[in-house]
């Protein structure tokens, strides 16, 4: 069975031709799949029943069902645990800002990257998400909430550049005027720093915003926190980000998760400022979300502000990430982990998110 939702319009036209159907059927189906986001062939109301039956025999639409949903009483942030067609779980968060709704999508079921502070790796890597499953998170949330989502961040479970081909196909699909029509400029791809794929992304010539999860200003510290750094060190990855900024004229952002006593020292601020000197970039400071098994501690509010101030004094623009959905543990990784633990051990009490 072919995943019909991951086909481009020309691939779909080709498929319709092979079923001896006119190309306008492809356009109708494409609209149902990508504008309305229907999850069943029976929902394609302007198609003859016979055609719907024949589609069911040849294709499938990967499902995305709401397993759990949490709404923040503080700011309306919504967090979903979605169940996929093969029974795997992913997490997706929708946040409301003054400019519209932003969705944080997962790119993989689990993650291989092994960052020591992150919950996503703990439940293990299972598989890449299909382009249709990346997009399905948007349709499922939009249809549930009855709103239009205008911005996308690839900051959920998984490493987007480790699922490169499917992510690129997804970006083109959501950008398509005959689909969700979301501007590339309103999409952010966050990476732990897979350097060759950053250069590939430059060659795609699509103006998405790139965010690097930097978290440490030197190799010793970064390698201890992020195994990917053993392969591509701090200087190499920042060089790739500079190339991204120069080639796309897009400002690159750096995520810096602050962990008490680990990377929040004045020495770290100094090294970070030296590393990013002369780079028109932006640093997002995120006090770490404690993950029970990880044992990392959030610095005090004052310590976070001191770090920000130290960077500003050295000419580096930094903001402290506003926490949304703090009452529903909105950052990713923990719901899937709890769900998996529950099905394995019949119960889990661990709290805290990535």
Interface with ligand SAH (CB under 6 A): 115, 117-118, 155, 159, 190-192, 213, 255, 257, 286, 288-289, 291, 354
Beta pairing, strands 252-258 & 187-191? unpaired
Q: How many Å apart are CA 170 and CA 174, to the nearest integer?
A: 6
Q: Hey, is 67 helix, strand or coil? A: strand
- Output the smallest distance, CB 235 to ligand SAH, in A: 18
C-alpha distances out from residue 36 to 74, 131, 209, 303, Å: 30, 16, 26, 47
Q: Pairing state of beta strands 209-213 and 252-258?
A: parallel
Radius of gyration of the chain, Cα coordinates, nearest whole angstrom? 21
Q: Closer to ligand SAH at the Cβ: 41 or 308?
A: 308
Quote the least distance from Cβ 129 to ligand SAH, whole Å.
13
- For ligand SAH, give the closer residue by CB, 115 or 140: 115
Class of residue 345 by CB neighbours under 10 A (exposed 0-12, middle 13-18, buried 19+): exposed
Confirm whether 118 is a catalytic residue. Answer: no
Measured from the CB of residue 154, what is the shortest distance to ligand SAH in angstroms?
6
> Are 263 and 219 spatial neighbours (Cβ–Cβ below 8 Å)?
no
Annotated active-site residue in 15, 91, 135, 159: 91
Catalytic residue among 64, 192, 332, 354: 332
The helices-and-strands tally (H runs, E runs) of the chain is 11, 14
Neighbour count for residue 156 (Cβ, 10 Å): 27
- 202 versus 292: smaller Cβ distance to ligand SAH: 292
Q: How far is the CB of 257 from ligand SAH (least distance, A)?
A: 4
Compare residues 262 and 291 and give the one whose CB is closer to ligand SAH: 291
Q: How far is the CB of 31 from ligand SAH (least distance, A)?
A: 31
- Compute the distance between CA of residue 116 and CA of residue 119 in angstroms, rounded to an integer: 8
Length of the chain counted residue by residue? 354
Which residues make beta-bridge pairs with 49?
none
The closest alpha carbon to 160, from 123, 119, 208, 88, belongs to 208
Closer residue to ligand SAH, CB minimum distance, 32 or 82:
82
- 91 classed as catalytic: yes
Catalytic residue IDs: 91, 332
């Amino acid at each position: 069975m072919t995943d019909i939702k991951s086909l481009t319009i020309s691939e779909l036209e080709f498929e319709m031709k092979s079923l001896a159907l006119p190309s306008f059927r492809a356009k109708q189906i494409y609209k149902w799949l990508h504008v309305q986001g229907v999850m069943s062939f029976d929902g394609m109301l302007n198609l003859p029943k016979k055609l719907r039956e024949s589609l069911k025999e040849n294709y499938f639409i990967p499902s995305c069902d709401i397993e759990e949903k949490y709404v923040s009483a503080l700011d309306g942030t919504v967090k979903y645990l979605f169940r996929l067609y093969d029974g795997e779980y992913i997490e997706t968060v929708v946040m409301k800002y003054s400019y519209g709704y932003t969705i944080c999508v997962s790119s993989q079921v689990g993650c291989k990257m092994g960052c020591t502070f992150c919950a996503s790796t703990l439940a293990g890597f299972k598989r890449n998400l299909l382009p249709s499953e990346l997009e399905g998170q948007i349709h499922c949330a939009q249809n549930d909430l009855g709103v239009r989502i205008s911005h996308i961040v690839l900051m959920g479970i998984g490493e987007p550049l480790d699922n490169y081909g499917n992510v690129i196909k997804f970006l083109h699909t959501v950008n398509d005027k005959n689909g969700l029509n979301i501007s590339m400029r309103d999409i952010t791809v966050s990476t732990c720093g897979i350097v060759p794929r950053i250069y590939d992304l430059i060659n795609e010539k699509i103006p998405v915003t790139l965010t690097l999860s930097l978290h440490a200003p030197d190799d010793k510290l970064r390698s201890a926190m992020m195994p990917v750094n053993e392969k591509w060190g701090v200087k190499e990855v920042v060089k790739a980000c500079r190339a991204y900024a120069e080639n796309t004229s897009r400002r690159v952002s750096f995520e810096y998760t602050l962990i008490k006593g680990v990377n929040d020292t004045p020495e770290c601020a100094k090294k970070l400022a030296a590393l990013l000197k002369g780079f028109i970039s932006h640093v997002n400071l995120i006090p770490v979300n404690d993950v029970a098994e990880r044992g990392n501690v959030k610095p005090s509010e004052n310590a976070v502000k001191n770090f920000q101030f130290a960077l500003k004094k050295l000419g580096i623009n930094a903001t402290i990430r506003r926490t949304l959905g703090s009452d529903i543990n909105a950052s990713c990784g923990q719901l899937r982990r709890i769900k998996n633990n529950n099905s394995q051990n019949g119960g889990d009490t661990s709290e805290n998110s990535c």
